[in-house]
Amino acid sequence: MSSELLPKLNALRNAVANTLEATTPQEVAKPRMLFDPKDFSDLFIRYATIRDGLTKEFPSLFNDLPVRTVEISGSTEFEGRGYIKRQQIKQLLVDIENCLDLLSGVSK
């Protein structure tokens, strides 16, 4: 296995999980639902690069991974940049954890 893919995937999982983690009592009570694309669309780009590497290296394990595009609203939030919904970031985390589960079965 490529020595770079697993640590990159783990680091990305941590970044995505931290994005979803509540850091204030207000966020615990009412989690943030909308995210600025300027700050968070790179998570999807980083995942796509890793996903493509995994698909190339382990086609039998990863050829059925869904290719998801980040959906940015066309609204005026975040100074006209729109927003990314929390559910999209949660789905990204599920996809990353699925990849990590599959990699745990690959012998080193």
- Whole-angstrom distance, CA of residue 17 vs CA of residue 89: 9
- Whole-angstrom distance, CA of residue 80 vs CA of residue 87: 21
In DSSP terms, 84 is beta-bridged to 35
Query: What pLDDT, in 10s, does the model give residues 83-97?
Result: 999 999 999 999 999
- Whole-angstrom distance, CA of residue 77 vs CA of residue 8: 31
Query: What pLDDT, in 10s, does the model give residues 21-78?
Result: 988 888 888 998 999 999 999 999 999 999 999 999 999 999 999 998 888 998 888 9
pTM exceeds 0.85, yes or no: yes
